[in-house]
A and B are shown apart, each in its own frame.
Chain A
Amino acid sequence: MEMDLEIKVRSYSGASIIDLVGEVDAYTSGRFREMMVSVIEDGARNLVVSMTNVQYIDSSGLGALVGGLKRIREKDGRISIVCDRPQILKVFEITGLERVFPIYDNEKDAVERTDDTGA
């Protein structure tokens, strides 16, 4: 029952999707950060981080996301989040990051930016 983080990358309708499964915390966020950097350096400009299967995210996970946002903004790109788990949504709400990252409850909307209100 080892708690860890599985990271997969795929493309969908011109967007790059990073699927996260598990926990994004001090132990695992380094790998997530590296993966984001690599995807952005490979040219991703519409990056979607799918957190539908994330059990927990701590502040180091949020730090990785903010670092990724900084990097992709320098290249005129954006990051969206897909998540419908109340526990994860609560983290974005209490920190105020819901006003920084556009959050969608499904991947299609995130990729097509159907309600493009993100920063």
Chain B
Amino acid sequence: MADEQKTVDASLPEELALRDEVRWIKSEDLRLFRSLQESMNKIEPAYVATYPPTECGIATFTRDVLQSVAKYSPFSKPTVIAVKRDNEIEPYDRTVRCQIVKEQRQSYLDAADYVNGSAVDIVSIQHEYGIFGGDDGEYVLDLVAALQKPSVVTCHTVLQHPSPNQKRIIQELGRMCDAMIVMIKTGKQILVDVYGIDPKKVAVIPHGVPNVHRVSASSVKRALGVGADIPIMSTFGLISRGKGIENAIKAMPMILKRHPKTIYLVLGETHPGVRKHEGESYRNSLNDLVANLGLENHVRFNNRFLSLNELVRYLCATDVYITPYLSKDQITSGTLAYALGCGRAIVSTAYLYAEEVLGDNRGLLVEFGDPEAIAGAVCRVLDDPALRTELENNAYAYGRRAAWFNVAIDNLELFRRILLRRGQETGA
């Protein structure tokens, strides 16, 4: 079956859409409230990271954190220093005021010069080894060393067993920056134990999740044109081999024995970096597996980059969300965070992020690479409405704490404390 035939229509009535607010200080208010402008705290942050339209998890994260922080500082103008793979022209939006070309070392120093000569108060660096140039992305150290403004490093990968060079980079960043952010407590513990980072320098701020009010899965299914009695499992995100989706597909025949109408939705396109190197070979192997197991009517792929509204709609229609990932070391997962935010019952392999956020009965953990365990956990949820409700409630409660607006407040509070301390040190 072609992808088009397998795609589920994601259009839904407006009342189920994510709501957002316009900027909350209107121009007419500004005329009346000159005093408001003077009274409000103004922090000008700059973000160093990949940025949309680049398709990657860090780019999406950066846009989300920028937008949510900006909502609390309406008189500020956030800046993005976009890190891009090569010299091609990217149609960035106006927040991108400077660009770093990944493998051009001078562009890191130029970016530092830009920041040092600008009104930027504080620099937020989104760190992932792969997005920066040099061995293990070591060019980022040139940037941080040349900055004359305070900096905060958000660590998206914290390896338990780093190479000597990977370890050196994190240690250097930890020494030079004012604070590091990780998204779970385990990440902080690793930074302290493995890298020797001062614990007082590490803040734990959860991965943000969309502000979603709960709706019943059956009402969303109706809008999607799916019967309320059809159990939906789903996995979303940029597809690559590490996702372990083949194990969830192999679990399907066992699940179908108990719940014969179940559908598994695999939502998202192949990771652009993966597609560049190996094309669609992983997705094709998944398609072959589906065909070999005779699951054409039960596994559906939606091979494109989904908008946030589409994602939330699919998630709200989901009965069991699955992250069957293969790497124990994974310290964060935006897709799992989003599923928590939507209050879904979740089955996941026990990677570090899942272990922590799905603790206290917020989800079910299974062994790596074990389709039978996935099937068992999914059936437990589908068979037991009380368990499912408990998992959903616990997940949603966790997600409310991690709603983007709360994450924004935590980020701003950290920025404020750092600027206050720097101000005290310099007597400003």
Contacts and interface: CB of A to CB of B under 8 A. Distances in A.
Interface residues of B, number: 32
Most buried by B among A26, A67, A70: A26
Contacts of A59: 21, 24, 71-72, 74, 405
A95 interface: yes
Contacts of B42: 96
A3 B32 contact: no
Interface string A1-30: 111100000000000000000010111010
Most buried by A among B35, B42, B72, B397: B72
B20 A119 contact: no
B214 A2 contact: yes
Given A1-B393, A66-B36, A90 B405 contact: no
Contact of A66 (B29, B400, B403): B29
B413 A94 contact: yes
B19 A96 contact: no
Given A27-B211, A66-B29, A94 B409 contact: yes
A96 B41 contact: yes
A29 B397 CA distance: 20
Contacts of A23: 400
B211 A1 contact: no
Given A95-B40, A100-B35, A119-B39, A62 B24 contact: yes
Contacts of B213: 2-4, 27
Nearest to B389: A1
Given A3-B214, A95-B73, A66 B24 contact: yes
A79 B39 CA distance: 16
Contacts of A60: 21, 24
B400 A56 contact: yes
Contact of B72 (A26, A56, A70, A94): A94
B71 A67 contact: no
Nearest to A91: B409
A27 B213 CA distance: 8
A2 B392 CA distance: 12
B33 interface: yes
Contacts of B20: 26
B413 A1 contact: no
A82 B14 CA distance: 35
A90 B405 CA distance: 12
A63 B24 contact: yes
B166 interface: no
Contacts of B21: 26, 29, 58-60, 63
A25 B41 contact: no
A66 B406 contact: no
Contact of A96 (B39, B403, B405): B39
Interface string B1-40: 0000000000000000001110011000100110110011
Given A63-B21, A94-B72, A25 B405 contact: yes
Contacts of A96: 39-42
Nearest to A1: B393
B40 A97 contact: yes
Interface in B131-161: none
A66 B25 contact: yes
Contacts of A26: 19-21, 211
A67 B22 CA distance: 13
B396 interface: yes
Interface of A: 1-4, 23, 25-27, 29, 55-56, 58-60, 62-63, 66-67, 70, 73, 90-91, 94-97, 99-100, 119
Given A1-B397, A26-B20, 17 more contacts: A23-B400, A26-B21, A27-B19, A27-B211, A29-B21, A56-B403, A59-B21, A59-B72, A62-B24, A63-B21, A63-B25, A67-B29, A70-B32, A90-B409, A94-B412, A95-B40, A95-B73
